[in-house]
Structure 1
């Protein structure tokens, strides 16, 4: 516990969580009717059993809005109290304006700061640090941080190596400025982000407004991505814990990017963490890119595993490569 008279610090505290998934849930068996694959093949290599696929009237912004509404209700505040929206996505509704502004309008929020962040699967971690920094600096008091994707729109449904891996969805948190004890208070304690653009061709989309004038399709070299992911994620988790003055033994829960069950297992082993401390939703959500970390967080909050005061490490790696981790006292 903090000592009497200990100085308080301004931190960004998670006040609420929320999520949204498209109505349509697609099993491996259903996919096997469309492409040359099988339930056994997918489960053995990835751990994925189901994914949600957006209907034509479900978009990144509609899913983001639904997740945001849940997070706002969970925080017990009015939407009008939000003064910052940071939406992480690689699949925006439009090239511009930012999908965050569509969420703002849908929630009935008047003047606030609203923009998108593009860091693919690491997007939520990037958005979290941007929002946390703005709150800590005093330029925002309550922020919606959202990860939302409709990756089904950019998949090549004839490429069995990639189309089985991804799904659609959205997750959101409300970050709120609070004065907490420096030693044991709640909030975001440390974040560390990285990028290395030399690996562009290992995970990318083969299109864009200034190159092909088209949206393009996702392309990936899975084995190379796997190798980089395990090494980079273990390193950045240790880096963020060290920055917070903590160790892996202090962690209650790891909330990872849900790309592949094998990556989750390998990363936990590299850190010496028990598998039961890792929140896993990849089996039912597949890889939802920037949405995967907040989706997993909300699932574990709703089922009672994550409780107030728990120490969490959030981590992700995605195309770019980009990767990052955050240490959060929930």
Structure 2
């Protein structure tokens, strides 16, 4: 049975930097339509203290999710035969939302649009999207692994792309978290013992399905039917803190490994405080009180939360030696983990090819 290895990565990080000061002149409201009593300076500083975000990246008005996904794909496919792809899997949640027009456009799929832009003629290169919340790219990797292990595919392109800045309510303080971007990986069949070793996914929809959802603006006087992304931040924090460490531990046990075998943990970049708390809880599951400072790379402080794009973007930067103090070498074990709308959680254990 073949294993699945990552042979190439790419990313598209928007050039427009949006500092926290960008939000100082906003009017923020609570979910019940009441204007926030704290000053914007206090609100912005509190957000920074909790999330670690100093700035985020926004796509320029002329670009869509398809465009950033395509650019990440081009970077990942450099030097490779595009016609050799068996699948193109794009994780995204809102389709192409154009600047100034808050309507989602997902027909045809973003994956088909990317395949069109790549000029791939092979009709058996199957292209489809995954709307799976923030864990979408990782779920795409898991699905790619199933295809490869079954013998149905030998080479798959998996992309995570999102332009969240256009679906974030400008009057909701949570809008300051969201960002844009895309990351891509090429996964290939290998006869070696390296690559994807295990993975675990769960969906907790009975009680938690609506913690992330679409709703109207919090501004009480704005008319219209536009829907924006909304979240119950405190509930998500508690849910993630309780559940993500368990899923990571399950994935490690499935691979026959323990936490001390892990060189890097690539966590979805949603909230620096939450990620640190998840990491500490994970180590406590193994009876370890002191967390190694270098185990979890973070890019949220300058990149923000770009949903499905956070992990593949971070992986691309890591493998290109562009994250200070972080490296992955042959034989190293990396764990990927994410949590998001659904509520969905997944984790994947990966050994760097020797």
Taking structure 1 as the reference length, the TM-score comes to 0.90
Q: Deviations over 1:158-195 (max 9, x none)?
A: 111x1011100000100011111xxxx22111011010
Query: What CA distance in whole angstroms lies between the structure 1 residues aligned with 2:204 and 2:281?
Result: 22
Structure of greater Rg: 2
Query: What CA distance in whole angstroms lies between the structure 2 residues aligned with 1:81 and 1:33?
Result: 50
Aligned twin of 1:191: 199
Give the 3-state SS of the residue equivalent to 2:14 in structure 1.
coil
Two-structure CA RMSD over aligned residues (Å): 1.6
Aligned twin of 2:180: 168
Structure 2: unaligned runs, 5 residues or longer: 28-38, 97-104, 217-223, 284-290
Give the 3-state SS of the residue equivalent to 1:121 in structure 2.
coil
Aligned twin of 2:213: 204
Aligned twin of 1:37: 40
Asked if 1:81 is matched to 2:84, the reply is yes
Query: What CA distance in whole angstroms lies between the structure 2 residues aligned with 1:149 and 1:176?
Result: 24
Query: What CA distance in whole angstroms lies between the structure 2 residues aligned with 1:16 and 1:215?
Result: 38
Asked if 1:50 is matched to 2:62, the reply is no
Q: Deviations over 1:207-260 (max 9, x none)?
A: 8xxxxx966211111111101111111011001000000010000000110000
Aligned twin of 2:189: 177
Asked if 1:302 is matched to 2:337, the reply is no
Query: What CA distance in whole angstroms lies between the structure 2 residues aligned with 1:275 and 1:326?
Result: 21
Question: Are the structure 2 counterparts of residues 246 and 205 from structure 1 closer, same or farther at C-alpha, using a change threshold of 3 Å?
Answer: same
Give the 3-state SS of the residue equivalent to 2:330 in structure 1.
coil
Aligned twin of 2:32: none
Tell me if structure 2 keeps the 8 A contact 1:192–1:239: yes
Q: CA deviation at 1:124?
A: 1.1
Structure 1: unaligned runs, 5 residues or longer: 1-8, 208-212
Q: CA deviation at 1:307?
A: 2.6
Asked if 1:133 is matched to 2:146, the reply is yes
Tell me if structure 2 keeps the 8 A contact 1:42–1:49: no
Query: What CA distance in whole angstroms lies between the structure 2 residues aligned with 1:301 and 1:32?
Result: 36
Taking structure 2 as the reference length, the TM-score comes to 0.84
Query: What CA distance in whole angstroms lies between the structure 1 residues aligned with 2:88 and 2:71?
Result: 14
Query: What CA distance in whole angstroms lies between the structure 2 residues aligned with 1:326 and 1:59?
Result: 29
Aligned twin of 2:235: 224
Query: What CA distance in whole angstroms lies between the structure 1 residues aligned with 2:276 and 2:204?
Result: 24
